[in-house]
Amino acid sequence: MIPAHPNRFGGIFPSTILPMGASEAPDWDAYALHTAACGLHEGIAGILCNGHAGENFTLEPAEKSRAVAETVAVAGRTRLVVAGVNQEASAAAAREAAAAVQAGADAVMVVPPNGWALTTDPAVPLRHHQAICAAIPGIPVFLFVAHHAAGGVMAYPPAVLDALVDLRAVVGIKEGGWEVNRYDALRRRIKRRRPEIAVLASGDEHLLACMVHGSEGSMVSLAALVPEVVVALDAAARTGDLDAARLAHAKLEPLAQAIYGDAPSGRATARLKHCLWVLGRIPSAACRAPLGIVDAPEAARLTAALQEAGAV
């Protein structure tokens, strides 16, 4: 459901995980419970499904469509449902976006394909997004700004960002650049060009700093784990209550570091699932290959972070 208030594409959006059974098949009952637990929490504006945390790069097209449909069934009457679109080929991405809308998604978020790390051709992202927009006319689109060290055109140089922002379907940006000064510069650039676009600070380890600079919210997987803390941080930053914001940050920072910052990188989904399993919110921490479950040292760090955050 797209709300009618002025910040209709802002607010806090948990990026959901997709529980798997021992056979690596999605556990749809567990997903519904997980989605309700984080997505229907007070203060949550919407849900991002089929994002990186949802193992989108391992899912079959039918599984992605079902994830959207299950999300809509749980929360679509009261929350804005955004579906991640992650395909290397533009035609496949356009089909995936159309399928997500058919399954009930209110909007889509376009994930930069990994192949873009190999190219510096600035026309590539624009053509990709144009193909998706053409396949879903009238449907809102969110951009995803990748890590500042992603390479190629994945992190969107200024001229590329300008071209993408000029697409009229674009209503918001999940800013995951993980560098505060870049975030501030990006936000100011976008607000000069199209002030109505919602810029969502989504670098998990830098939420407080980015929100102090200014933000319309966040699309972040930490909100799938501790939605109450992310909502509290956002509310405190909006009202200028820095003491309350620092308290929320003090709870989030150990989790952000343990899930996203500790080596080896790229294990956030497995770590999120382990945390949710420890808290009894999903029945299994299994991931789909090639992802694997956390090892003993990781498990110890995650448990310590959950304790520091007051989650256990």
* pTM over cut 0.85: yes
Helix (H) or strand (E) segment spanning residue 84 = strand 80-85
Give residue 266's pLDDT.
84
Longest dimension (CA), the chain: 50
10-residue stretch averages of pLDDT, the chain, 312 residues long: 86 98 94 98 97 96 98 97 98 98 98 93 97 98 90 91 97 92 95 97 90 96 96 96 96 94 88 97 96 93 93 83
> How many Cβ atoms from other residues are within 10 Å of residue 4's Cβ?
6
Domain ranges of the chain: 11-245
Task: Give 33-50 pLDDT, tens digit per residue.
Answer: 999 999 999 999 999 999
Task: Give 179-197 pLDDT, tens digit per residue.
Answer: 899 999 999 999 999 999 9
CATH number listed for the domain at residues 11-245: 3.20.20.70
- Residues 188, 120, 55, 61: what is their CA dihedral angle, to the nearest 10 degrees? 110
Burial class (CB in 10 A: 0-12, 13-18, 19+), 162: middle
Give residue 135's pLDDT.
98
Give residue 122's pLDDT.
93
Give residue 13's pLDDT.
98
Task: Give 255-272 pLDDT, tens digit per residue.
Answer: 999 999 888 878 999 999
Q: How many residues does the chain have?
A: 312
Give residue 55's pLDDT.
96
